[in-house]
Amino acid sequence: MITVAVFYILAIISLITAILVIVFKNPVYSAMSLVFTMITLGGIFLVLGSPFVAAIQVLVYAGAIMVLFLFVIMLLNLRAPDSISKEFRDRKILAVFFGLFFLGIIIFAISLVQAISSQARNISLREIFLTLMTKYLLPFELVSVLLLIAIVGAVLIALPEKK
């Protein structure tokens, strides 16, 4: 019972901060709202039964990726005004209506799914790594190669040109 209450509180907070991400014109405020959204999503992951994924979400997503975003926003010194596209500036209501229509279609699709039952069991770290090292070893190695490529590529792209 208390897990359901915590879930709904976190869900409402994450929805409000997610809406604030697109409402704020200043990119720094937007990024901070996204950090809050990710942290509350980490809490929701905890309620849904995997504490490890929740920890990884807060550490990696909110802690590293969003900090990188904030570095770049402040490095490029982006200003607040005019962050909403000219075509949509006068048609915000149309944009929201389009989004709600999309939402309605998919809610209808989900309502056709049969009742979902579940087990009440947390996913432990030991299980995750046993499966990661045996069944998912190849994707694990490939993802590390992908990270290496991304690092090298990012440094190469962002290097200043030699005069």
Partner 1 sequence: MSSLILSGLILSLALFTIGVIGVVIKRDALSVLMSIELMLNAANLTILSAAKKWGEVDGAILILFVITVAAAEAGVGLAIFIHLFRFKGNINLDKQTLLCEGESAERIYE
Contacts with partner 1 in 114-133 (CB under 8 A)?
115-121, 123, 127-128, 131-132
Query: Using the rule CB under 8 A, is 98 a contact of partner 1?
Result: yes
Q: Which of 86, 90, 93, 112 binds partner 1 (CB under 8 A)?
A: 86
Query: Using the rule CB under 8 A, is 73 a contact of partner 1?
Result: yes
Q: Which of 5, 9, 60, 137 binds partner 1 (CB under 8 A)?
A: 60
CB of 106 to partner 1, least distance (A): 6
Query: Using the rule CB under 8 A, is 57 a contact of partner 1?
Result: yes
Q: Output DSSP code: residue 59.
A: I
Check if the beta carbon of residue 122 is closer than 8 Å to that of residue 51.
yes
Check if the beta carbon of residue 122 is closer than 8 Å to that of residue 50.
yes
Query: Using the rule CB under 8 A, is 39 a contact of partner 1?
Result: no
Q: Which of 76, 93, 112, 138 binds partner 1 (CB under 8 A)?
A: 76
Q: Which of 1, 2, 93, 106 binds partner 1 (CB under 8 A)?
A: 106
Taking the least distance from each CB to partner 1, the nearer of 75 and 163 is 75
Query: Using the rule CB under 8 A, is 72 a contact of partner 1?
Result: yes
The Cα–Cα gap between 9 and 146 comes to 37
Q: N- to C-terminal Cα distance for the chain?
A: 65
Query: Using the rule CB under 8 A, is 82 a contact of partner 1?
Result: yes
Query: Using the rule CB under 8 A, is 44 a contact of partner 1?
Result: yes
* Of 53, 69, 58, the residue nearest 36 (C-alpha): 58
27-47 and 66-76 helices cross at what angle (nearest 10)? 180
Cα 78-93-102 angle, rounded to 5 deg: 95
Q: Which of 85, 134, 137, 162 binds partner 1 (CB under 8 A)?
A: 85
The Cα–Cα gap between 92 and 89 comes to 6
